[in-house]
Amino acid sequence: NRKFLIEDLAAGDVMFAATGVTDGDYLRGVHFFPGGATTQSVVMRSKTRTIRVINATHYFEHKPSY
C-alpha cells in the first residue's frame, strides 16, 4: 500500500474543468427557464493558479439541431 501525493497523481501543467448538473456545495446545477437554461462551471489551471467560475445562459432557439 502507498499513499499518493498530488505530484504522483497530476504533475505538470494540469487543467481541471467541471459543470454542475445538480445543485451542490461548490457549483449550481442546471436551472431551466422558458426557452433556455443557466449553468455554472469552474476551470482551474495549476501553472497559473487561475480559477475561473463561468455562469452561462443558454438560449435553446439559437442552438443548432443535430
Q: Are 53 and 40 in contact (CB under 8 A)?
A: yes
Higher pLDDT, 11 or 34: 34
- Residue 44 placed within a domain: yes
**So what's the pLDDT on residue 64?**
78
Instruction: Look at residue 1 and tell me if it is in a domain.
Output: no
What pLDDT shows up at residue 8? 84
Listed in sequence order, the residues at least 6 apart from 35 whose beta carbon sits closer than 8 Å to its beta carbon are: 59, 60, 61
This model's pTM is above 0.95 = no
Domain hosting residue 20, numbered range: 6-62
* pLDDT at residue number 65: 75
**Whether the predicted pLDDT of 58 surpasses 90:** yes
Maximal CA-CA distance, the chain: 54
- CA 65 vs. chain centroid, Å, equals 24
Domain assignment present for residue 36? The answer is yes
pLDDT higher than threshold 90 for residue 6: no
Rounded distance, CA 53 to CA 47, Å? 17
How many domains, the chain?
1
